[in-house]
Homo-oligomer: A and B are copies of this chain.
Amino acid sequence: MSPLPLPIRCDRVEAELAELATFSDPPFPGVTRVLFSAPDLAARRWLQGRFRAAGLEVRADAVGNLFARWLGEDPGPLAVATGSHIDAVPHSGRYDGTVGVLGALEAFRALRESGFRPKRSLEIVVFSAEEPTRFGVSCLGSRALAGRIGPEELAALRDEAGRSFAELREAAGLGHLPLAELAPPRYAAFVELHIEQGPLLEREGAAIGAVEAIAAPAAYRIRWLGEAGHAGTLLLADRRDALAGAAEGILAVERAARESGSADTVATVGQIAVSPGALNSVAGFASLGLDLRDINPERRERVASAIREAFVEIAGRRRLELSWERIYEDPPAACDPGLVAQILASADRLGLRARRMISRAYHDSLFLARLCPTAMIFIPCRAGKSHCPEEHASPAAIEAGVRVLADCLRALAG
């Protein structure tokens, strides 16, 4: 089978990516779009307009997921789905997630313009809060659909300002949808287009990554309790300095990851808070956010244990109290071999160099894989950079990804 020449217009995707990037909290040109913030709500409204203009039927669910459906001619019970997310961590780029949403929209438009009429319904899903910025939990939307977080737990999540998910959801205009009625969607397949967020494809000159497995992420909140005091009068020997303990902890995290035996282990402390937080006060309290990932869950557990042991030793020696809270510990996901083969075959037909690979980053696909056959299409991004303003995917890279996605969707829904 030779593909129809699809009228994919990359300039349209580029313009939409640029426009979507303007829905952001300052400072610009970085993108900051946190769940249910004013820019997030404005971006959702804008996106729904684009979906409707493309003839898609739009609905939202109780977690804030958006669905845009192209009704099939003989739909049956199972749709074919694609999509990603549009929320963005503070000061990040314009491609993470958004390429999978606006790329899917362009694939739908090109397929329709080519005369294609799907048999099965085709659906774009925009997952709510893939990033953990607001509540410290990743993939709220897909996690809830997969039943990995319950309605009560979800409603009770609180952000740093103390506002609950339920309260923010209400303010976002979704309060009329009962959280308890969230039902898992029924999909024949889910394929997510995404930038790699790593350097592999660019380094090897490949246009397409067919993702076979998604690394297992875990996140923890570690609190160090010492004693606050005056920076002038509390002598060193008498101190129980929570920040100094936490600093030792940060270095222990780095060491434990380096000594895991595999370069695939990554551990990161990217969040820290101290109290009282004054220039002239010894910190009585420090809290760290720890992100730990591996493709091998046993190795990840070994590293987590090594970190916990190091923290206990530091806390004991420094007379600090320690609390270790698990935010999440998600199991890795394997992609569907048939879909992976489909992606490789589509790339091959389109003359694009492709390779099998794993995803080190966290994606909604991790949870969709629990519901239906799932796979991911990766495209290269410059120098592998992501979650920073320098994040960049070239128009040619995006076009290649959209072509492969459209080809897969045509095969799956045709």
- Whether the pair B386, A229 counts as a contact (CB closer than 8 A) is yes
- Which residues of A235-285 are within 8 A (CB) of B? 235-238, 241, 243-244, 246-248, 250-251, 254, 257-258, 263, 265-272, 274-284
- Whether the pair A236, B258 counts as a contact (CB closer than 8 A) is yes
- Whether the pair B283, A232 counts as a contact (CB closer than 8 A) is no
Measured in the bound complex, the distance between the Cα atoms of B234 and A293 in whole Å is: 11
Say which residue of B235, B243, B327 sits within 8 Å of A270 (CB atoms): B243
- Which residues of A136-176 are within 8 A (CB) of B? 136, 138
User: Is A344 in the interface zone, CB < 8 Å from B?
Assistant: no
Q: A90-B275, A132-B278 are in contact. Are A234 and B291 (CB under 8 A)?
A: no
- Whether the pair B266, A291 counts as a contact (CB closer than 8 A) is no
- Whether the pair B284, A228 counts as a contact (CB closer than 8 A) is no
User: Is A362 in the interface zone, CB < 8 Å from B?
Assistant: yes
Say which residue of B232, B284, B291, B388 sits within 8 Å of A280 (CB atoms): B291
Q: A250-B244, A277-B270, A279-B289 are in contact. Are A284 and B362 (CB under 8 A)?
A: no
- Whether the pair A234, B266 counts as a contact (CB closer than 8 A) is yes
A residues in contact (CB < 8 Å) with B: 89-92, 131-133, 136, 138, 196-199, 215, 217, 219, 227-238, 241, 243-244, 246-248, 250-251, 254, 257-258, 263, 265-272, 274-284, 289, 291, 293, 327, 360-362, 384-388
**Can you offer 6 A-B residue contacts whose CB atoms are under 8 A?**
A132-B280, A234-B384, A236-B257, A241-B268, A248-B251, A280-B362
